[in-house]
Amino acid sequence: MVLNNTTNFFDDLADPVYWYVFAACNLVAFILWIVSVLEKNSSQVDRIWPLAPAVWTYVYLTLAVTVYSFNEYKISLARLIIVTILLTASAARLTFVFWRKGYYKRAHEDHRWAKLRATQSKVQFFFVNLLFIGFFQNWVLFSLNSPVWFIVKNPTIDDELNFLDFIFMFTFIASFVYETVADQQQWTFQSRKYKWLAEVNNSEDQDVSSKYGQEELDDFRRGFLTRGLFKWSRHPNYLGELGLWWSLYGFTIASQYKSMRENFLVQKSLLNWSLVPILFFTLVFQLTTYSTEKSSSEKYAEYARYKSRVSKIIPWFTTYKPNNVDVDDNN
């Protein structure tokens, strides 16, 4: 095996093998775009969103064994296997979440794409569907597991798994659990809220709400969840998702532990090129949050107060209090 000992920041991307894989990504994007045109449904990329990063990770793992001879160096392969298992678990969880929400039904289309189709001209939507929905989203999904490619191209063949590997394994698992709990709390709330609304609208029984607790009914009438993890953060699931990808980046640092120990802060140690897509994804989440909260503020009268009291993503000590409850600004 020949290690990548060059020092240019983006040297890892010069490998032709990487561009062969990227070409495969573009082929997938083109096929999904064709399907979206034929089906008149632009949510084809949405359906592969949970799976794509894990699939490309399996491609990288295969290349590590077949092209870069990682099978000769069990320790380096162990790190890649751990990362692959973690991303597979994340993909399985998110696939279940998408299935539960009905995203894999043939007729399902994201309301954003349907709105764009209705408000734009055919020419405008053609290019949006091709360039943004089709190709750009696939590029984002392809880039998310860039840290895996970094590990493939920068293996530490004479290092055992070190304490940094276990730290980032723990943060990945903790983020996974945190996001899972947040998603389940939101799913339970929304399911019960719509069940309650249906019962109220369809039942002549005036005591239909007696089966629900007062706090739960308050949330139903308010329209959004303010309990559980949502008491401390408006978007705890976002924190969990971001934690996964930042933990993945952490493995690139762990993979260079020996060089960092011998020559602290050498190039490609704490900062490397695979950080770029993680930073971009973090920015995308900020934009998504802004759009989501703008919609919620327009839909729910009390959301502005909730927003003013509760931290956006990172949990904090201030919590929401209903509008009819006096609030001490220091609490």
The pair of structure tokens assigned to 156 is 């530490």
> Which backbone phi and psi does 302 adopt, to 5 degrees?
-90, -5
* pLDDT of 195 above 90: no
Instruction: Tell me the mean pLDDT in the region 32-58.
Output: 94
pLDDT score of 115: 87
Query: Predicted confidence band at 301 (pLDDT cuts at 50, 70, 90)?
Result: confident
Closest Cα partner for 102 from 187, 219, 200, 38? 187
Confidence (pLDDT) at 271: 84
Where does the pLDDT of residue 251 fall: very low under 50, low under 70, confident under 90, or very high at 90 and above? very high
| Contact (Cβ atoms closer than 8 angstroms) between residue 169 and residue 86 | yes
CB under 8 Å to 61, separation ≥6 — which residues?
A: 80, 81, 84, 148
pLDDT of residue 96: 96
Give CA–CA dist 236/325, Å, rounded: 24
Query: What integer pLDDT is reported at residue 176 of this predicted model?
Result: 97
Is residue 158 very low, low, confident or very high in pLDDT (cuts 50, 70, 90)? low
Over the chain, what is the mean pLDDT?
A: 87
Q: What is the mean pLDDT of residues 28-33?
A: 96
Residue 138 in contact with residue 29, Cβ under 8 Å? Answer: yes
Q: Which one has a higher pLDDT value, 115 or 258?
A: 115
Contacts of 205 (CB under 8 A, 6+ apart): none
Give the CA angle between residues 302, 303, 304 to the nearest 5°: 95
Q: Specify the long-range contacts of residues 16-22, CB closer than 8 Å, at least 24 apart.
A: 17/63, 17/67, 18/149, 21/56, 21/59, 21/60, 21/63, 22/142
324 token code pair: 């009819």
Residue with tokens 């530490």, as numbered in its chain: 156
What is the mean predicted confidence (pLDDT) over 287-291? 84
What confidence category does residue 325 fall into, taking pLDDT thresholds of 50, 70 and 90? Answer: very low
Answer whether residue 326 shows pLDDT above 50: no
